[in-house]
Chain A
């Protein structure tokens, strides 16, 4: 694998994380428990569409075959998407969404802090901008974890259930394959296995304050980063890519 190939895959993974998660967040549009949350969650979706545009655009540039961010988003098959599984999991209820957002945003807080210091100027710039947004996302999901965990009996139970069910998907964030290792060495991109401890400590502290238990289940779920997805993914793509499949030559 050349460094160019690694960089393409690297940008694609980050772009897909943002794209697919923005899809899930955007599903809250006109469906949130209060209007303020409708606006907050769709606002985060907007942040992530912007991030996906930058990263997929950069991936297309590196690839050098003239593919745009839209081409990569709308004209790629499922097995070529390389987001982490957590991003594609359904919203279920509000607690589930908040747990997913907490796990991802805490991870991204550490991740983008490091990526902002890498030697690829484009990635560093995107990371710096993203980090500002991630701080909001993390504050939001932390606040709600506290409210739901330490709110009513029902909200506590729902939040605990969500945390338990999502936990096993978090391990994938900290995997490093040949792509990651090559770029960590060449461009000083984040050494993801080393972020696990930060993530565990940070998350455990939030859960504790929220009167929630930290699960002890193993990190068994992974595959998205290599194109092996959950059953949910196909449905996301069939909906997201519907118009570009039905009218392949149209521009919108």
Chain B
């Protein structure tokens, strides 16, 4: 009897949740939601938050070497935006019942991931252009689609974040355009950055639809609204033209317009590389994690001091 009641409450909850999703209503933190939905979102939002934060490293690598005051200002402001995105996203994930400290712990334990793209190095100044243009450019395509995701706090975070990301994309493109108008050495740097970032940027959309393991639930729950391949095609279509305008060559000899599909066809993506990097063996995986862990450990005494001070002040307040 008790069990039956329990099951029927759970069934009611599930039906109510599914109806909301069906109607296209947002799910809010206080709403009841299936465990799988909650877990999926925590995984996805925390991964997104960690990506924003880890992504500060390759760009941070050029802050002290930015070649003009304006370039330094734009770069620093961009990295700051990314840190801000990390903050909103950690907060969005916290509404699902996990703390930032736990998320960081999971990152350090290798249980939570971050975007693979940040396991590639930023080697010359044009990489700062390429990251803004291609990496933020790819992220926007994904995130514009996520503005309609079913979880309210996540979708609202995406709306806010997308505005800034498109700014980053334009600024990145501006760096590339400027370098392509510059000396032969600058053009070489720009093309070199293009060659190294193009394929990893395409991989940001994840495996082909035919091999994507999470597709089912994420679609049913309207967390994900468009497939990996659809999003990737959108990115390629808008980016190819932009590259042509400034004279950059896309490093894919099989790239060509397909009139019938209304999209570009592209060459084979190196999925071995994709899985190798995901599994920890990219150029910078070790470096990024070591850096994050070191900074976190070195800052422990500061966080402890702030906490100790807060407690002292609270006690004083109670006494007075």
Contact = CB atoms under 8 A, between A and B. Distances in A.
A252 B301 contact: no
Given A42-B80, A150-B312, A151-B309, A27 B182 contact: no
Interface in A87-143: 93-94
A46 B64 contact: no
Contacts of B300: 33
Contacts of A155: 301-302, 304-305, 308
Given A29-B56, A151-B305, A43 B80 contact: yes
B84 interface: yes
B182 A250 contact: yes
Interface residues of A, number: 47
Interface string B270-298: 00000000000000000000010001001
Interface string B156-192: 0000000000000000000100110011011000000
B309 A34 contact: no
B86 interface: yes
The main secondary structure of chain B at its interface with chain A is helix
Contacts of A151: 304-306, 308-309
A94 B299 contact: yes
B303 A243 contact: no
Given A35-B53, A239-B65, A242-B65, A29 B60 contact: yes
A36 B86 CA distance: 10
B240 interface: no
Contact of A31 (B67, B86, B90, B295): B295
Contacts of B90: 35
B306 A244 contact: no
Nearest to B54: A30
Interface string A22-34: 0100110111111
A34 B80 contact: no
A125 B235 CA distance: 46
A244 B60 contact: no
A33 B178 contact: no
Contacts of A251: 178, 182
B137 interface: no
Interface stretch (B15-23, B69-77, B108-116, B206-214): B69-77
Contacts of A154: 301, 304-305
Contacts of A242: 65
Contacts of A30: 53, 56-57, 60, 79, 291, 295
Contact of A70 (B69, B301, B304): B69
A187 interface: no
Given A26-B76, A30-B295, A43-B80, A250 B302 contact: no
Interface stretch (A47-55, A166-174, A192-200, A216-224): A47-55
B307 to A, nearest CB: 8
Nearest to B183: A250
Given A30-B56, A49-B73, A152-B305, 4 more contacts: A29-B60, A31-B295, A70-B68, A152-B301
Cβ-closest 8 pairs across A and B: A33-B299, A151-B305, A155-B305, A33-B302, A243-B67, A30-B60, A252-B67, A30-B56
Interface of A: 23, 26-27, 29-39, 42-43, 45-46, 49-50, 52-53, 69-70, 73-74, 93-94, 146-148, 150-152, 154-155, 158, 239-240, 242-244, 247, 249-252
Interface of B: 53, 56-57, 60, 63-65, 67-73, 76-77, 79-80, 83-84, 86-87, 90, 125, 175, 178-179, 182-183, 185-186, 291, 295, 298-306, 308-309, 312
